[in-house]
Amino acid sequence: MAENHPIRSRGLALAVLCAASLMVVLDSSIVAVALPAIQADLGFTPAGLAWVVTAYLVAFGGLLLISGRLGDLLGRRRVFLGGLGLFTLASLVAGLATDAGVLVVSRFAQGVGGALASAVVLGMIVTMYPEPRARARAIGVYSFTQAAGASIGLIAGGALTQALSWHWTFYVNLPIGVVALVLAVRVVEADRGPGLRAGLDVLGAVLVTAAVMLGVYGISSSAWGVLAAAAVLLAVFVVRQAKARTPLLPLRLFRIRAVTGANVVMVLMVAGMLGFQFVTALYLQQVLGLDALWTGVAFLPVPLVIAVASLGFADKLATRFGPRTVLLSGLGLVIAGLLLLTRVSGGYFTGVLPPLLLMGLGAGAAIPALMGLAMSDVAPEDAGVASGLINTTQQVGAAMGTAILASVAASRTASLGSLDHREALASGFRLAYGVSAGFLIAAVALGALVLSRRPRPAATPSPEVCAAGQA
């Protein structure tokens, strides 16, 4: 079993899982900076260009939950390797694309592969690290890849597009993907699930996949009819899970306060923090006049500070004070940074950088604590679906926050048409920062109310699960 792994081998396996996860996270933002070049080269219409991002997000967000359940049933390493292979191959096709349709289809395939690979990683980590202190440290490493990936993607996207071409925003995945595949086969322990014969709720899978895909698309495009359809499908899915003999998402998970509370907090936290990144990228370019490369460089302090916090001391704080206290304190720092940005008026070093540092410090402490809480009371046989669930709520929060904050900023700017255009833009962005802070304040309030001060110890594996892990 995982606890019998040599420490060195286990550390290398963690590095492989986190490197693959970082590559998938990068892909959601690395392409953003390259969109103008892609449009000019492949002749996308403005509306069609959005599908370069949306096709990826819809597939990725929609398939995370079923991917996590497939990991529980078929073995998490098998699902991880299959997803990573598909993602790497789709990256090659995307880089070679000379037609808009081919690029969009390959982006959808990247989303499918990314969902399969990402959904099971957190479940694999908590299985490999049963000791609380070691698990907290491992989750800190994983959380760094999740929290800093978007910022690193902006930097890499700007550098690759400007130095080479937009094709390299996809080609960069090839060496990482191939090396990760080779190493994963060697160092990640093979596990065996009970198989599909144990029961896969196909109808439930179709319902929730369609609901999340429609939801992500509806939020991204502000299509209320699509959102209503997604809500209806989600309601039908819940009814189905209550009656199914082998549900895709066992509703008993939501009786665990840590699971329910952590997932709702995740939606609100990511809505505020990912939406903030989108707004700040626009502020740096449209108000301060930075180009694509320097916009990416301007975000560099964020992953650096997140690394210091999540890799340096987040696990020690969580062990000493409890993950709930660390989570709420970290979110408090993020709120302080956002409130400072609601009054931003100077240049980058005086107006933007100090709040970025404050927010990076808070995020680096809060995100590992939240990830740990989300998995703390989950039985090993449900680790895959719980991992898929927390990843799904991340995607929903990202889509929701980006759509709402972009709409708020645009509406505010349009209402100030008589002002200087840059000042009108800045005013819209400042209002969006206030709304972003509101998301985080709601997350703190809900976390304080719902999450326990000290989570219960993780559930003991059933004899069947231990036997499967040893097989």
- Report the amino acid identity of residue 171: Y
Sign of CA dihedral 402, 405, 407, 409: negative
Residues 120-165: tens digit of each pLDDT: 888 888 888 888 778 888 888 888 887 767 667 777 777 787 778 8
Query: Is the whole-model pTM more than 0.75?
Result: yes
Residue 346 token pair: 């100077």
- Report the amino acid identity of residue 441: I
Indicate the domain borders of the chain: 8-187, 201-245, 253-453
Burial class, 460, CB count within 10 angstroms (exposed 0-12 / middle 13-18 / buried 19+): exposed
Sign of CA dihedral 141, 142, 144, 149: positive
The SS3 of residue 188 is coil
Please give the distance of CA 58 from its chain centroid, rounded to a whole number. 13
Cβ atoms of residues 204 and 241 within 8 Å = yes
| Assigned CATH for 253-453 | 1.20.1250.20
For residues 446 and 370, give the distance between their C-alpha atoms in angstroms, rounded to a whole number: 13
| Assigned CATH for 8-187 | 1.20.1250.20
Cβ atoms of residues 307 and 148 within 8 Å = yes
- 8-187 and 253-453 in the same fold: yes
pLDDT tier at 456, thresholds 50, 70, 90: very low
> Which residues lie below 8 Å from residue 141, measured CB to CB, with a gap of 6+?
14, 18, 310, 311
- Whether the per-residue pLDDT at 343 is higher than 70: the answer is yes
43 in the Ramachandran plot: left (φ > 0), alpha (ψ -120 to 50) or beta? left
For residues 288 and 407, give the distance between their C-alpha atoms in angstroms, rounded to a whole number: 21
| Mean pLDDT of all residues in 456-460 | 42
Residues 208-260: tens digit of each pLDDT: 888 877 887 777 666 888 889 989 999 999 999 888 888 888 888 888 888 89
Residues 371-389: tens digit of each pLDDT: 888 887 787 777 778 877 8
At 135 the pLDDT is: 84
